Structure 1
Amino acid sequence: MPLTYLFNPENDLALAADVDRYTAPAPIRRLRADLALLPMWIASPGSRIIAPADDAEFLDFCKSVIDGLDGIGIYDGEPSQAMPWGWSRSVRNELLRAGVECNADDAMLSQLRRLSSRQTTVDVLQRLDAKGVDIPAMPKVCHSLAEAAAAVEEFDAAVLKMPWSSSGRGVARVDNSFFPTYENWVSGIVRRQGFVVCEPYLDKLQDFAMEFYVEGGQAAFKGYSVFFNNQQMSYDHAVVASTAELRRRLLMFVDASTLDIVQTAVTECLEELLPESYSGYVGVDMMVYRKSGGALAVNPCVEVNLRTTMGVVSSALGDNVVHSGCEGVMRVLYHKDKAALEQFKSTLQPPRFSDRRLSGGTLLLAPITSESRYTATLTIV
């Protein structure tokens, strides 16, 4: 049975709400509408994408210039199996109403919700530590304001994180002297979501992730993503190149054995933790950081994303779309009004292709309309 993909970037917020019908904030609804076709870049042959019928023209253009998109189309009600960006009670009900078959029952969704919280990051780090993988100071799961205050005092420079949040929201950099400013925020998180995670602030040199596809209890490594966050700790852009090239970039910081040990151990952890019924992507965010003595190391689990991520997309683009020897940048940008959108469009250089791969200019990753406020692009640099 073919797969039907759905871009539902609000999923982390829907998990936090844990309701049958979740309504996302307006900006995220706009993001979802504008980038509805984004899953086409990771879709399997013959699959369908839930997107407006008008997006078929853009899809046909991409098929005409790039290999690997044959058989992918807009969902029109034919029997298919659901493959959302992420799973929640809300998205399951939405997909069922659209006529898409869903194998996610209540027990599975409850388990996935629990595993999607930042408690899983701590669980994975504990397992990695037991396997002999070098990790930074262990994060603390704090169930009260007093526990959070003690954790921040211990780390001095710390990062506080909500159990469920999205795109850098719910993350705060806190020094011990400024913790009183965040007391109401922490108390509210504990009241609504049960706990807050406190981890040491590290001297970061490079964000990256390992991307996996999990099916039948087996986790398969799919590639790396090398990305950069903005000052609000939200995703800004990613380097787009082949898996081999991204690995070479990471080897500028750490040796090959470190990457291989981390990959093997994280694969084992995912297979130990995830239910056999889960089929889908998992992105494990990591970080190259500098220890107090100056040595470079890898934090092997900054966060476990039990869903598709922008890193999954950028990794696939590097292996399947960008021309060999080229490097690109993937960006998701917000434009405050039509004038800003038109100004942005005027700066774009048309895409150029060699051997049916992108070799120059900028390729839109989803169509732009007059109503668009978010754009996703891949630019060769």
Structure 2
Amino acid sequence: MNAYPTASTPRLWVFNPGHEEALSFSREKRYTLSKEIRWMRHELSPLLRLLASGEDLIYAPASPEGIPARLLNAEGDDLPAGCDLPAELSVVLWGLDDHIVRELRECPLFDSTTLLFPPITPSYLRLSHRRASYDLLAYLTDQLGYPSDLLPRWIEAGVDRSDTELRLRAAIEGIKSRPLGDPTRVLIKRPYSSSGRGVFPLPLPLQEKHLEALIGSCTRSGSVSIEPYLEVVDNWALEYTRSESGEVSFFALSHFDTLPSGRAYLGNILTSPEDLWERLTSLMSEEALLTLINAQCTWLE
């Protein structure tokens, strides 16, 4: 439905981790989340009460063990059985993809309610693709003088297996010859991925079993990013908001930990924005951080 919510439309808050990988599956295909992700969605959805207010509702999906989906109010309490829902709900998603839209449309909880979804635009899909990270880093290399050895090699699948193998081998050799990074491994990232999903280290020298897996991954996903394996000092993200007019503004810092093996996400460090800013500017100058933020805002716009 292409309707848009009014300012008074109550919101439906939905926590749907795993949406990055879901984007790689067309809407015609059924996408099954891993059991771990389904547990995350089920158990962590009540945290959205920190964002909900007023007449807002929270969607708590079914658990892997068969606990049915339910609705919570803005305080995180279960709605009473038979409670009337608003005629319309504006859906606020953790991440937008066709599969969560279909899940909510088919959910019996909303049989008498019209759900208003944000549009899945071409620009949203471009920014969700791993290639956008490459494009941003290339921009920073050009504008701010970042070392070009940081740039990944973006490899598209070839016309056949042999062509794909040649492209991947050449890219790995190119990355391995750079002065930056661990010479005993490279990092592989699939197009729609995040830490812990679609990101994996590839040991060198290349073994046949690893090569076969890499060729298969590149063929299935259409492309892969091959990057230097860098020694991580600290993990940070810059977060932005975008207005309806397209203006991008810096919103907050995110400081998180990852597991040393495989770079999987471990958890966030929760503290005040001021403390996060102080921590990061102890690792880089405030001037360099502000320059980076301005450059990223320009690129995102």
Runs of at least 5 residues in structure 2 that lack an aligned partner in the other structure? 1-8, 61-68, 78-82, 157-163, 177-182
123, 135, 152: which one pairs with 2:172? 152
CA contact (8 A) 2:191 2:223 kept: yes
CA contact (8 A) 2:89 2:115 kept: yes
CA contact (8 A) 2:27 2:99 kept: yes
Runs of at least 5 residues in structure 1 that lack an aligned partner in the other structure? 61-73, 272-381
Tell me which residue corresponds to 2:289: 259
1:188 offset after TM fit, Å? 1.1
1:2 offset after TM fit, Å? 3.1
Tell me which residue corresponds to 2:130: 118
What is the aligned-residue RMSD (CA, Å)? 2.7
Q: Which shows bigger deviation, 157-166 or 7-16?
A: 157-166
1:23 offset after TM fit, Å? 2.6
Alignment of 1:1-381 (within 5 A): 1-20=9-28, 21-43=30-52, 47-51=56-60, 53=70, 59=76, 76-97=85-106, 98=110, 99-104=114-119, 108=121, 111-135=123-147, 137=149, 138-143=151-156, 144-156=164-176, 157=183, 158-178=186-206, 180-216=208-244, 217-230=246-259, 231-271=261-301
Q: Cα deviation per residue 1:154-186 (whole Å; 9 max; x = unaligned)?
A: 222421111123441222223431354421121
Give 3-state SS (helix, strand or coil) of 1:103's partner: coil
Q: What letter matches 2:250 in structure 1? A: F
Tell me which residue corresponds to 1:299: none
Greater relative contact order (Cα < 8 A, sep 6+)? 1
% identical aligned pairs: 26
- Greater share of residues in strand: 1
Give 3-state SS (helix, strand or coil) of 1:253's partner: coil
CA contact (8 A) 1:207 1:226 kept: yes
Q: Cα deviation per residue 1:65-114 (whole Å; 9 max; x = unaligned)?
A: xxxxxxxxx99444121211111111223334433112315xx2x55334
Q: Cα deviation per residue 1:197-239 (whole Å; 9 max; x = unaligned)?
A: 0111222100111111223212222111111101231111221
Cα 1:38–1:147 change in 2 (3 A) is farther
Q: Distance in 2 between matches of 1:35 and 1:59?
A: 11
Q: Distance in 1 between matches of 2:220 and 2:172?
A: 20
Cα 1:103–1:207 change in 2 (3 A) is closer
